[in-house]
Structure 1
Amino acid sequence: MWLLLLMILPEHIRNRRSVKVAAFLVVVGTLVFWWYNFPFQKVHDYILQSKRGKSILLWNSNENERFFRQHSGSCGSIRCEIISNRSERPIESYDAIVVIFGDDFSPVDPMELAEFQSESNNTNQKFVFYTRKSPQSLASYHNVSEFTGVFNWTMTYRRDSDIPLLYGRIAPEELSFLSPEDVLRHIERARKTFRPRPKSRISKLNKVSPIVAWMASDCNTTSQRELYVKELKNYIEVDVYGECGNLTCDGPQCYDILLRNYKFYLSFENSLCPDYVTDTFFTMMDRDVVPVVYGGADYTRYAPTHSYIDARQFKPEELATYLKILDANDTLYGEYFWWKDHYRVTSSEENMWHNSFCDLSQKLHRDFESKSYQDLISYWGDYNQCVPFDPKWIF
């Protein structure tokens, strides 16, 4: 069209202005094409959609959502509202519905969930699969194969989740990257300057008390951590608190006992699954106790080098020998605290809830991709990447 206009213009004008006119007409033509194919109303609706607050429904609930409701809208510039009462408003009005899988939440009826989803006219609504449990632990409560095609996003401890639900974070105090040389220099400095907190090592019977502690309530796990501890106790004393031992403590005083009496804590997970690192690790990292880890995660992705001891690198007898060496040498023991001045630990349950739901709200504002998990069983069922226990690790 614009080429025809050029042809009817006088020659001297065409010669001088043909390029400018052609460019102008191309722009006008593009705008006209865009107007008919992408109406301004759609742009306006998109802007409103991205700016308005997001509403999130907790499909099944218990008293834990008190924290969620208290922190609704507290994600900085990102606005969100968290509701736990299904009858409060039409369910179709929510931007996301979070279905929580775990033994401490109300059971999930797959038929009820699928029926609602098929009847909903809100095509932008996201169903979120939420769990803090490992696949092996969750299997005793739910059959995830019943939820094929139901969920659009996942919110779990796995790093490849749509919304990662991390039990804790260990982040540098500064954004600057620590090179291997920097780490070695800080470790060397810790050898010279760190002095461990004095421990109450003498019992009432004038007997030297154990340097290793473990707290656990689940004594029959798929990771068989209880077998490792049982074998370890043949070579070094271990004080065991909770259902799996004969010692007890409640609440914050447990951590005071650890700091006062022990040098090492067994941060042993109940499942050996990728990325499964729970508060049993992060809570200890926030204290002057060296965690001894036993799990299926790559711990180098969660914590600084030489800040923990990996039990799976030792047979129990070898681990006992190494812990005794560290106990006898404050310089070597102090190396495990080199990172304390350079990193910060966040491990509270409040931080976990807050970070994950703020991440969900942010994703609702920015991610409009349509997808669903047609094969949830491969993601969270029998064919997950969890590692079975191998007796060779112990004997």
Structure 2
Amino acid sequence: MIIKDKEGNIIGPKEEMHWETVETMMPINDTLKAKLSTKKFAAAWFVSHCNARSGRDLIAEELRTELAKFDMQVDIFGRCGTKECPRGSMKECLQLVETDYYFYLSFENSFAEDYVTEKLLNGLNHYAVPVVYGGANYTRFMPEGIYVTAEQTRIRELAEEMVDIINDKQKYYDFFKWHNHYSYHELRDSRDTDAYCKLCALVNNQEKYLTTSIYEDFTKWWTPENECV
């Protein structure tokens, strides 16, 4: 992931970021408001790795149950859900996030310091507020006030917070004020299945062994420029 300021300068991510606060950011324009006006479902999640060690599946299911009490819908796409996103159709599926979903579940499969995958970009770059669940210090990647955090102990409160944001247009608009100040970009050749990312996840999950295939992929792929964040 690369973060740029409005002049196109690369500013992060880095250990200490000096963000504009949401309160001082410029309000969004009418064009962006119109783009956000088509939203109709609470949240989407694209996932194929089921029963991850982080427990994200249980969090997603509990959140879906809580939001259903407010007649709001969470759709899970892929092997672990009931919605399909055919191989090769990710672009079209992410377009649905832009048009139909208020939030995107950026739930990591591994809890590790600063382990953040493309799931975060799926929300940020497709006009959905990220709901984050992971071990990273997310203020290295985003200013506070443009995302919400999922915690195992407060899923009911999270659902209520999301409903409140959905029902208050101005609150929802404020989550997108960052568009006036920053932009997010993928690292070249970066993807969720990069061998380096797999290695990070395995190490931080205290796996005893690294499979030969992952090791071979890692040694072929890794260069200092390709380290994932």
In the other structure, the counterpart of 2:160 is 321
In the other structure, the counterpart of 1:241 is 77
CA contact (8 A) 1:292 1:308 kept: yes
Residue segments in structure 2 that go unaligned for 5+ positions in a row:
12-16, 68-72, 192-201, 208-229
Residue segments in structure 1 that go unaligned for 5+ positions in a row:
1-167, 202-209, 354-378, 385-395
Question: Residue 223 in 1 paired to residue 62 in 2?
Answer: no
AA in 1 matched with 2:182: Y
CA contact (8 A) 2:112 2:204 kept: no
In the other structure, the counterpart of 1:285 is 124
Question: Residue 335 in 1 paired to residue 171 in 2?
Answer: no
Correspondence list, 1:72-87, <5 A: none
Correspondence list, 1:130-279, <5 A: 168-174=1-7, 183-186=22-25, 189-190=27-28, 195=33, 196-199=35-38, 201=40, 210-236=41-67, 237-250=73-86, 251=89, 252-279=91-118
> For 2:148 and 2:167, how far apart are their aligned partners in 1?
16
CA contact (8 A) 2:77 2:83 kept: yes
AA in 2 matched with 1:234: T
Equivalent in 380, 383, 387 of residue 203 of structure 2: 380
AA in 2 matched with 1:245: G
CA distance 1:181–1:303, shift in 2 (3 Å): closer
Deviation at 1:171, TM superposition (A): 2.4
> For 2:19 and 2:39, how far apart are their aligned partners in 1?
35
> For 1:272 and 1:173, how far apart are their aligned partners in 2?
31
Task: Tell me the TM-score normalized by structure 1.
Answer: 0.42
CA distance 1:307–1:230, shift in 2 (3 Å): same
> For 1:225 and 1:308, how far apart are their aligned partners in 2?
17
> For 2:142 and 2:126, how far apart are their aligned partners in 1?
14
CA contact (8 A) 2:94 2:122 kept: no
Task: Tell me the TM-score normalized by structure 2.
Answer: 0.69
Correspondence list, 1:44-123, <5 A: none
CA distance 1:287–1:314, shift in 2 (3 Å): farther
AA in 2 matched with 1:249: C
Deviation at 1:173, TM superposition (A): 2.3
- Give the SS at the match of 1:235: helix
User: Which string of whole-angstrom CA distances, capped at 9 and with x for unpartnered residues, describes residues 311-359 of structure 1?
Assistant: 1386111111011111111100011111112111112653x49xxxxxx
In the other structure, the counterpart of 1:86 is none
CA contact (8 A) 1:194 1:331 kept: no
User: Which string of whole-angstrom CA distances, capped at 9 and with x for unpartnered residues, describes residues 176-195 of structure 1?
Assistant: 999777642216x3499962
CA contact (8 A) 2:111 2:204 kept: no
> For 1:382 and 1:246, how far apart are their aligned partners in 2?
28
Deviation at 1:283, TM superposition (A): 2.9
> For 2:4 and 2:39, how far apart are their aligned partners in 1?
31
In the other structure, the counterpart of 2:145 is 306
In the other structure, the counterpart of 1:345 is 184
Instruction: Tell me the percent identity.
Output: 32
Looking at both structures, which has the greater relative contact order when contacts are Cα pairs under 8 Å and sequence separation is at least 6?
A: 2
> For 1:264 and 1:381, how far apart are their aligned partners in 2?
28
CA contact (8 A) 2:43 2:102 kept: yes
Which structure has the highest helix share of the two? Answer: 1
Deviation at 1:381, TM superposition (A): 6.3
Aligned length: 183
Give the root-mean-square deviation of aligned CA atoms. Answer: 3.1
